[in-house]
Structure 1
Amino acid sequence: MNIKTITCHEVYNYGASLQEYALLAYLNKLDHKAETIHYKPAYLCDRYDFWYIANKKYEKFFITKAFYIFIKLPERLQFLKRKKNFDNFSKNHIKTTKKLYKSNDELKTNLPEADIYICGSDQIWNSFFQNGKDPAFYLNFVPQTKLKISYAASFAIDKLENNIKDFVKSNISNLHHISVRESSGKTILEDLGIKNVTQVLDPVFLLNKKEWSKLEKDLEIIEDYIFVYDFDSNPLIQIMAKKIKKKTGWKIISVNKNIKYSDRNFWHKGPSSFLNLVKNAKFVISNSFHAVAFSIIFEKDFVVFNRTSSINTRMRDLLNSISLNDLLILDQNMIDKHKLNTINYNVPNKFLNNLIISSKTYLKDALEN
């Protein structure tokens, strides 16, 4: 079958790129012909333009535009290195439609041809961001004569605001098969009266450790290290990383440019390097869903911290589903009590393998309908 997927595409985020790759790779493994729709609405992609001006007051005059770009120049030149590595990953590993689409209306007017359409995964339905309010991510542009499936779509929040509920219900009701990534997402839809909802795993779990290892890119790191992936500059994460470094002598390595206490920072590297950093770490500290996911896939010693924004449900649900909820660190006391190398993956892997089987079964059954 010819399958088109839609997700948050080329947003220069490790998890977004790797989950996009995973779904396409698994579909192709099932002997389908799958590619992602090259969908880049302005709200997702404009900020990655080298000449983008975030503060609109600087757009009025040429001299203020030039001043704004000059101030931002060092940071943007650095970002070009990161962008190049991500773009190379997409070029080499993510098959994309040749045509670029920028709106749901463009997709309706010139429908990318396919037998089956899949929306997901990642936070495509998170109404905290604009993508959760974009009908394209609910396959609104696809006629009802075509098979429409969601796979592991995530709201990433516990509940919807009232003003978005009717929009979500009307769009999701038009899908033929509905799956979400978190139990909280299932609850959200059931509260809207949508009952035929399946909970599945993120696409990264559709591929095994060996398949992911083929994709990783070697980095020249000879010392043992703690891998820190922290979006929020969480002071508790810094405390824990430094405490473990003092105890073990391990270096601190990160891919977040805001982490100033790391010994080395690979912020400009792409998704393949990210895989390498997780796989070879002695310990992983993060508040990232996909850092957690790959820590589990590679069976690493790790802990998780909450995010400051309201998107913690996805990490909490994943840990609970495989009986690792005690790895969620909430305060200084839990940091002080935590012991290294205490994870026995025998039990979590039993839960995980069952969830992988059920996730694959859902997808295969939906495709064969």
Structure 2
Amino acid sequence: MQIKTITCHEVYNHGATLQEYALLVYLNSLSHKAEVIHYKPPYLSQHFNLTAVGNPKFNLPLIKQLYILVKLPKRMKMLQRKRAFDKFHTKYIPTGKKLYSSNEELKKDLPEADAFICGSDQIWNSFFQNGKDPAFYLNFVPDFKKKISYAASFAIDKLNEEVKPLVKENVLRLDAVGVRETSGVQILSDLGIHGAEQVLDPVFLLTRKHWNQFTFPIREQFVFVYDFDSNPLIKEIVLKLKKENGYAIYTVNANIDYADKNFYLEGPETFLSLVSQSNLNITNSFHSVAFSLIFNQQLVVVNRAEKINTRMRDLLALFNLQDYLISTTAAFNFWEPIEYSKVNPLIQEKVEASKQFLVKSLEG
């Protein structure tokens, strides 16, 4: 079967890239021919734009030129990160040749496929423009084509009223609905859409052995920090661990200025190597949590400032690990190592159920 997937493509984020890769690999392992649609709407096409001006107050003729000149050295340096991700995309992620920039373009020139899958990751997060884009609900696919969502994430507990009609109208057209969080099932139920299933993120569809082929050995003892928020609690805990145990601090976030080594210019292989070999992963990243579980690594998960903690909360709760999501130093003081002998059977059971969802949805 020829399958086309659609997700937030080429957004230069470790988790987004690896989940996109994982879904394609798993589908192709079932003897399908799967590739991602090369969909780059304007709001997802500004990464590494050397002349972009984020704040309107700087978007004046002379001020704009000065602003760009000041920003240019750092932006030029960041192109190294782009090259690392582009290399991974080119080598590992089969992508359609035609570039689409809107839902209407997709409608006018429908990619050839027997089935279409939207997902995974935060494609339905309406805090961002992608959650309001009908293309990520497969709106462009005609009724006679098979349409499936797999592990699509709302990333929040409740939808704003303004987006509910868009979501309801388009999700009702899908032949099978798989969402990544249990909260997503509830969101759809509240809209009168029943029968949605909670499934795991695509990265769980591949084995630890598969992911290990991307890693390289790291000799030093270290704590791996993946922190989008420059969270003071994460910093406090990590510096305490460094003082008490002598661990180095590694990160892939440009905003973390207290790390001994920062790998923010490197690609997914470095992220996988770090998350799989640390003495502890401390994070507020969904995919850092997911890969910690896959690699059976010890972790601490800290609530994010943004209202998107449902992703980590729901994932941990699936495996009775909700106590590993903390908000205070006191909570960390009660931290104990994860007993993976108890957790792994729960993960494997959910992996099999998620695989069966995909198989049955494609056969049905």
Q: TM-score, normalised by structure 1?
A: 0.97
- Specify the alignment match of 1:258 in structure 2: 255
- Specify the alignment match of 2:348 in structure 1: 353
For residues 3-152 of structure 1, what are the structure 2 equivalents within 5 Å?
3-61=3-61, 63-152=62-151
SS in 2 for 1:175: coil
SS in 1 for 2:225: strand
Residues 222, 249 of structure 2: 8 Å contact kept: yes
In structure 2, give the amino acid aligned to 1:29.
S
SS in 2 for 1:100: strand
Q: Could you say if the C-alpha distance between residues 52 and 251 of structure 1 is closer, same or farther in structure 2, counting changes exceeding 3 Å?
A: same
SS in 2 for 1:26: helix
Task: Summarize deviations over 1:234-293 as a string: whole Å, max 9, x none.
Answer: 000001101111111110000111111110000001011100111111110000000000
In structure 1, give the amino acid aligned to 2:124.
W
**Greater Cα shift, 73-82 or 296-305:** 73-82
In structure 2, give the amino acid aligned to 1:236.
L
In 1, Cα distance between equivalents of 2:21 and 2:284: 22
**Offset at 1:57?**
4.7
In 2, Cα distance between equivalents of 1:64 and 1:100: 34
In 2, Cα distance between equivalents of 1:215 and 1:33: 23
RMSD: 1.1
In structure 2, give the amino acid aligned to 1:32.
H
Task: Summarize deviations over 1:25-70 as a string: whole Å, max 9, x none.
Answer: 0001111000000101111112432222223454442x43321211
From 345, 352, 367, the counterpart of 2:362: 367
In structure 2, give the amino acid aligned to 1:169.
K
In structure 2, give the amino acid aligned to 1:303.
V
Identity level (%):
55
1:299 aligns with 2:296: yes
In structure 1, give the amino acid aligned to 2:123.
I
From 330, 333, 338, the counterpart of 2:330: 333
In structure 2, give the amino acid aligned to 1:245.
K
Residues 8, 16 of structure 1: 8 Å contact kept: yes
In 2, Cα distance between equivalents of 1:211 and 1:223: 24
In 2, Cα distance between equivalents of 1:335 and 1:51: 43
Task: Summarize deviations over 1:102-142 as a string: whole Å, max 9, x none.
Answer: 11011111111101000000000000110000000000000
Specify every segment of 5 or more residues in structure 2 that has no aligned partner in the other structure, as ranges. none
In 1, Cα distance between equivalents of 2:63 and 2:258: 34
In structure 2, give the amino acid aligned to 1:27.
L
**Offset at 1:75?**
1.6
SS in 2 for 1:28: helix
Task: Summarize deviations over 1:66-109 as a string: whole Å, max 9, x none.
Answer: 21211111220121010110110100110100011111011111
In 2, Cα distance between equivalents of 1:47 and 1:281: 29
1:287 aligns with 2:284: yes
In 1, Cα distance between equivalents of 2:250 and 2:47: 27
Residues 11, 47 of structure 2: 8 Å contact kept: no
In structure 2, give the amino acid aligned to 1:178.
V
SS in 1 for 2:68: helix
In structure 1, give the amino acid aligned to 2:198.
Q
Residues 47, 54 of structure 1: 8 Å contact kept: no
For residues 136-175 of structure 1, what are the structure 2 equivalents within 5 Å?
136-175=135-174
Residues 284, 304 of structure 2: 8 Å contact kept: yes
1:222 aligns with 2:219: yes
Residues 38, 99 of structure 1: 8 Å contact kept: yes
In 2, Cα distance between equivalents of 1:92 and 1:51: 28
Residues 38, 100 of structure 2: 8 Å contact kept: yes
The count of residues paired between Structure 1 and Structure 2 equals 364
Q: TM-score, normalised by structure 2?
A: 0.98
Specify every segment of 5 or more residues in structure 1 that has no aligned partner in the other structure, as ranges. none
